[in-house]
Chain A
């Protein structure tokens, strides 16, 4: 059986058409995210949606629906007005607002807010901060541990210039929330978000620096080993698996269907026992 150009072209197009058409009919042809975060696999929160799986392509409506929240709470916290806008627009908005180096308000801020609001686990990136308005909402309505909300609020910039840039070194140990801060200028968006929702509350980091013995969202397996943990110890906390040295533990746990906060707690306990 010889196959020439024409029959091959027909077969290729037919297989694509039939395959895509069949997948469409079976409901498997999805070219966009289903907007349903994965559920937490084990532990106290097993079965609950994981804030860590909120994607930048989710709209405010998607987030509200996935976590059974009032969308107006989210809009108020982040100064958004249009619930159909994707949450990843925050990165553009606050990027233009000239936040200090190493500080970011973006999708991870939404994850952190949802976690604190709903009382679910999430380990934010070190650079992740919340707008002041979000802290206000959390204090008023948040179901999460008040200590964690205080922790998020405490990492504030004591002084902010009128352009929204930090003018003094951050004081991570501060335990007070700034009572008044200047609005971010030049952050009007046209995308349904007002950057005037508040200034960042969080820890600015010029660059990622690991504090020995403290596991964060950027800690790698190499860091753990450098702190004296053996592969066996790490495996005992992760359920028998271990990633390569360069892998960020947080990313690795997500890729392997594990809950970072639980693994982090287990590893942290092992580190404390050393």
Chain B
């Protein structure tokens, strides 16, 4: 049984990796060609768009201006609103699946985590004391509130100057503020110690998406009856969620990466899975939406 699952892990992890690489390349190529076009070098490419045009967070922070004045925040385009809508739809269904599968900056941090793991082994991603970490995780909501408030009040993309994601794809364009470089440098260094530090502590869009973990339709569910308490699910979680002690993961930090599931880390089949947690679940249990998980 275990061997089968180990083979299964090898089979499923590359699927997420492939999706992450595909979106990373699409965003990198599309935004690069967009900047080159602005500089007078026109390379035909169907997906060409500025990073602002394909960032769903632009649609989120533009929402108030869109409904109150019928306009978008400067540099944000209709495509951002479309992507924000798709992000909400996906989040209602699966939680922050965009963070775990699509976001190029999340992928970038995960790849850096590979280096950190090689350096620190099992100590990697366990440096921050849990009590401190638990409080710091709410910092991103302060960032979300600050960014939303300032954007509504000024009509400008206030976060651009501090956004390491924008810096990563635009560092060569001359549009990046010094603060952006500092933010990116910090994330790179911290990623060698902590997995996805920006997602955990500072990403305003991750904070917004994280709210949907509280009422998503499909959630990570642990079957306590078959669980052998090996804690492999918790160890596999890049966001340090204690999956092993939750019935249904409702932690606001879950990114729906499925690393904890029986398809990947969990050695027992049908024990940790992404299932419908509203309505009847796959094992015939009662609706699990009311079950309390860890976290928020």
Contact = CB atoms under 8 A, between A and B. Distances in A.
Given A32-B53, A251-B156, A9 B68 contact: no
Given A12-B97, A243-B153, A3 B69 contact: no
Contacts of A38: 69-71
Given A12-B97, A29-B78, A32-B53, A2 B48 contact: no
15 contacts: A4-B263, A5-B15, A8-B256, A9-B16, A31-B53, A31-B54, A32-B53, A32-B77, A33-B77, A243-B153, A244-B149, A248-B154, A252-B154, A255-B155, A256-B155
- Which of A19, A38, A243, A252 has the most B CB atoms < 10 Å from its CB? A19
A5 B12 contact: yes
Nearest to A5: B12
A4 B274 contact: yes
Interface in A1-46: 1-6, 8-9, 11-13, 15-16, 19-20, 23, 28-33, 38
A159 interface: no
A9 B276 contact: no
Interface residues of A, number: 36
Given A5-B258, A9-B16, A31 B49 contact: yes
A178 to B, nearest CB: 32
A57 to B, nearest CB: 8
A186 interface: no
Given A2-B282, A8-B256, A31-B50, 9 more contacts: A1-B275, A5-B13, A12-B97, A19-B83, A28-B78, A33-B77, A55-B74, A86-B38, A255-B155
Which bracket fits the contact residues of B? Answer: 35 or more
Nearest to B52: A31
B14 to A, nearest CB: 9
B270 interface: yes
Contacts of A8: 94, 97, 101, 256, 258, 274
B15 A31 contact: no
Contacts of B15: 5-6, 9
Contacts of A244: 149, 153
Chain A at the B interface: SS class: mixed
Contact of A257 (B12, B18, B68): B68
Interface of B: 12-13, 15-16, 18-19, 34, 38, 40, 48-50, 53-54, 65, 68-71, 73-74, 77-79, 81-83, 85-86, 89-90, 93-94, 97, 101-102, 149, 152-156, 218, 256, 258, 261, 263-264, 270, 273-276, 282
A29 B97 contact: no
Contacts of B102: 12, 16
A9 B12 CA distance: 10
A30 B89 contact: no
B46 to A, nearest CB: 10
A247 B153 contact: yes
A176 interface: no
A205 interface: no
Nearest to A32: B77
Contacts of A251: 153-156
A254 B155 contact: yes
Interface in A146-182: none
Nearest to B97: A12
B153 A19 contact: no
A33 B156 CA distance: 15
B152 A255 contact: yes
